[in-house]
Every structure is written in structure tokens, then in C-alpha cells.
A and B are shown apart, each in its own frame.
Chain A
């Protein structure tokens, strides 16, 4: 149980285009999901907390208009990187907290984004 999927696993896009990444909880409901970014040999950096039915909470320094988050159902959150640039190339990971559980987060397999 407690499986989280991400799609796509890898994506290459051209500078200036937008990319959408999906995060799904497959066998549980998740009111709260988290989006992280991780650069090589660095730790996870929390970008935003996604709450179903309400606006996402962004961490300091993360541009809301560039990283659009939509959590439209209890099993799906999406992150759209708008007008992507090479510096946005990174490993994007989502996690989900199962409803009724207090703290544990289940991670998706991650999405490798390369902007050329």
C-alpha cells in the first residue's frame, strides 16, 4: 500500500515552453501533497505544500507564477513549470500524506526535467 506515482519520469523540453508533472496517490487519499526539487548531490528543497481544494502554500523564494500547483482531487496534484529555462533543470519529487496519518510522507519516484 501507500504508493505514489509521478508522470512523466523524464522530460526534455525547450527553453520557454511549459511542462506539467503529475503526482498521484494510487491506493490512498491525500488531502496534502508536497513538491520538492533536488539538485545533484544536494538535499531535498521543499517548494510548496499542495492542499486539495485550496491554494498551495509556497516556500520563501519560490515563484508562484512560475511553478503552478493544482490539487483538484484527493489523489492528484500537478506541478506546471511555466516558461522553463535551463536553470529549472532538476529532479522534481512529490510526496503525499495519507489522510488520517499524522506526519509520514510517501514519495513518488521523481521526474527528471531537462530544459535545453
Chain B
């Protein structure tokens, strides 16, 4: 079967670091996406990992371990505007290469 798991909610403090974990089980796995979504808006692309290891982009980093079916999104120097839902999605190598989506992690950044 295909399954994506991530925590439902997380809370962190402004200026701190937070790690959002995602585990996946999917056939035909090709890579792992992270998207950010603010309430009432469409998702925006954050990162895409195909190979094992850490990819860093400014305050955001994403890690992938294909052997463990595990990824995380690391957010540093948290800002209030980072309060949003973070969606983990696995790309499927089948027809149409659709994305398999997690339910999202709602992150609240407190002052």
C-alpha cells in the first residue's frame, strides 16, 4: 500500500529550530517533496529530495533516507510567518507520476 505519516500539529518558539518528520511507504518511490501551505492559500514548493542526504536552502533544509523511508524538514530561526501547514508528498514513478500526499503538519510559531 501507499502511506505517508507526519505529525498533525507542532508548536515552536520564534527564533528556535523545529524539525518536522515524515515517513513514507509507497511503491515506485522516486523522490520526496515538501510544500508549505498557509490557510486559504495554495501550497508553495519548498524542496525536493531524490538522493539520500541533506539539502539546504537558506533557513529551510530537507533530509531524505531512502533505505529508511524517512524525511524531515528543518526550519531554523523561526519567524511568525512560518506558522503554516507543511505537507510531505512522495512522488510515484507510475503513470502520470502523481504525488502521494501526507495529511500535513500544522506548525504554530509563538512569540
User: Do A and B share a complex?
Assistant: yes
Binding site for B on A (CB under 8 A): 32, 34, 41-46, 49, 51, 57, 91, 93, 97, 102-110, 112
Give the docked Cα–Cα distance between A104 and B49 (Å). 11
Give the docked Cα–Cα distance between A51 and B96 (Å). 9
Known: A44-B43, A93-B42, A109-B41. A103 touches B97 (CB 8 A): yes
Within 8 A of A (CB), among B18-34: 30-31, 33
Number of residue pairs spanning A and B whose beta carbons lie under 8 angstroms apart:
53
B30 touching A49, Cβ below 8 Å: no
B side interface size, CB within 8 A: 23
A107 touching B96, Cβ below 8 Å: no
Known: A51-B96, A103-B31, A103-B33. A44 touches B44 (CB 8 A): no
Among residues of B, the one whose C-beta sits closest to the C-beta of A41 is B106
Among residues of A, the one whose C-beta sits closest to the C-beta of B35 is A107
The verdict on B83 contacting chain A, using a C-beta distance below 8 Å, is no
Q: For residue B45, which residues in chain A have a CB less than 8 angstroms away from its CB?
A: 104, 106-107
Give the docked Cα–Cα distance between A93 and B104 (Å). 16
Known: A49-B96, A103-B33. A44 touches B101 (CB 8 A): yes
Contact pick for B42, options A32, A46, A51, A109, CB 8 Å = A109
Give the docked Cα–Cα distance between A110 and B44 (Å). 12
Q: For residue A107, which residues in chain B have a CB less than 8 angstroms away from its CB?
A: 35, 42-45
Contact pick for B41, options A32, A46, A49, A110, CB 8 Å = A110
Among residues of B, the one whose C-beta sits closest to the C-beta of A57 is B96
User: Chain B nearest CB: distance from A31 CB in Å?
Assistant: 10
- Chosen A-B contacts, 13 in total, with CB atoms closer than 8 Å, are A43-B102, A44-B101, A45-B101, A49-B98, A57-B96, A97-B97, A103-B97, A106-B45, A107-B35, A107-B42, A110-B40, A110-B42, A112-B40
